[in-house]
Amino acid sequence: MNWTIKDLPVKELSTGEVLKIKTFTLKNGPGPHIHIQASVHGAEIQGNAVILKLMEALKHKTIKGSITLIPMANPYATLNKHGTYTYGRYNPVTGDNWNRNYVDVVKACGFDLERFCKANIDTDWESIKKDFKADLKASFTKFVETLKEENRLQDNNKINLILQELALGADGILDLHTGPTATRYLYSAEYEENVSKHMLFRHVLVIPNDFAGAMDEASFMPWIHLKQKFKELGREVELDIESFTLEFGSEETFRMDEGSKDVESILNYLKFKGVLDEESQAAEPYYSKLKDYTTMYAPRGGLVDYHVSPGDHFKAGDKLATFYQMKDIDPMDPIASCSHTLLAKDNGIVINRCPSSNVHQGMELFQIMTNIYR
């Protein structure tokens, strides 16, 4: 088993030094291609532990097809420290979210989808996939070259477009992230909801089959456009290309022991895709639509004692948190006099919570799944 390792330059610093990412590709004959990347957000580092565990697991397995792994996919974001904290979610110069500057390839490149679909209206699906990937890549390469020639390739564009181009030919794209203080959960598009069961996550957020700038959406949107155009022309196609965002717990945390458990979701997906010749399992996760994924903002400021943790289920009336405001202390009854309890108004599951107990009014306190189904 031989890995192909490449260094790709992604950013030149003012010192002249060049930041690079490493790609690791394992190939064994024909079969699906899987693209896996971690740490587009610099503080979200647990995905690197998962990639290491995956490499270790693959030493003892024979694959069909190919896998590309990209740990530390955004070194500039990982290097951006404020004190001991990694300020890795946003570009410190532009303020842009590092995971929101991908493009909807078909629209951005002016891809002639109608011409392609009419020319392939009776073509078999495997040939369509092969030709569509090749044509997309050619259009995308030309699009990026034009940006370079016109000096319109900025920080976020460059790293995002490099990663997007690497993923264009994949049959499965897994973007590894974490939350602030979070449980493990998965983002799945509506069209791939049934497949998401094979990711073995307990909590799944179902997003629309639409584009909002993130890697998962940028990867599945060309295929959504293709499916829609074929439908307009009278042909139905079933998509077998997926793109998921995997959230492996909390940022600023790197746990190899947890990585041993986290990697099982990816190994199971590889089995489902036929990359590993083993039978996959299917979980029964808790689902919630993105529109029902709600943010609870702090109703007041204070020092917060959280009564629920990420992953906890709660019911209406349960205590979620207690706020303590030191200005209200009565020495005769110190705790009761300065405390205010926050109760749940509805049932839900905590997915993320604020990483700080020093909270101003209006700050994001919890992110919660509601209207849950299985």
- In this prediction, residue 124 carries a pLDDT of 97
Strand segments (E) across 125-198: 172-179, 181-182, 184-189
Angle at 294 between CA 289 and CA 300, to 5 degrees: 175
Could you confirm whether domain 293-369 is CATH 2.40.50.100? yes
> Under the phi-then-psi rule, with left for phi > 0, alpha for psi from -120 to 50, and beta for the rest, what region is 218?
alpha
How does 270-288 read in b/e, with b if 16+ C-beta sit within 10 Å? bbbbebbeeebeeeebbbb
Q: Which two tokens stand for residue 131?
A: 């030709």
- In this prediction, residue 155 carries a pLDDT of 76
> How far apart, in whole angstroms, are the C-alpha atoms of residue 233 and residue 231?
5
Pairing type for strands 339-343 and 319-324 reads antiparallel
- 50 closest CA partner among 174, 229, 186: 174
> How far apart, in whole angstroms, are the C-alpha atoms of residue 175 and residue 70?
10
**pLDDT by residue (tens digit) across 228-237?**
999 999 999 9
Query: CB-based contacts of 350: which residues, under 8 Å, 6+ apart?
Result: 183, 308, 309, 310, 311, 312, 314, 366, 367, 368
For residue 283, CA distances in Å to 195, 307, 322 come to: 10, 28, 35
Stretches where the chain sits below pLDDT 50 are none
> How far apart, in whole angstroms, are the C-alpha atoms of residue 205 and residue 9?
34
Q: Model-level pTM?
A: 0.97
Query: CB-based contacts of 302: which residues, under 8 Å, 6+ apart?
Result: 323, 324, 325, 340, 359
φ, ψ for residue 198, nearest 5 deg: -85, 0
**pLDDT by residue (tens digit) across 183-205?**
999 999 999 999 999 999 999 99
What's the CATH class of domain 3-284? alpha beta
- Listed in order, the ranges of the chain carrying CATH 2.40.50.100 are 293-369
> How far apart, in whole angstroms, are the C-alpha atoms of residue 210 and residue 224?
8
- In this prediction, residue 156 carries a pLDDT of 75
- Listed in order, the ranges of the chain carrying CATH 3.40.630.10 are 3-284
- In this prediction, residue 1 carries a pLDDT of 72
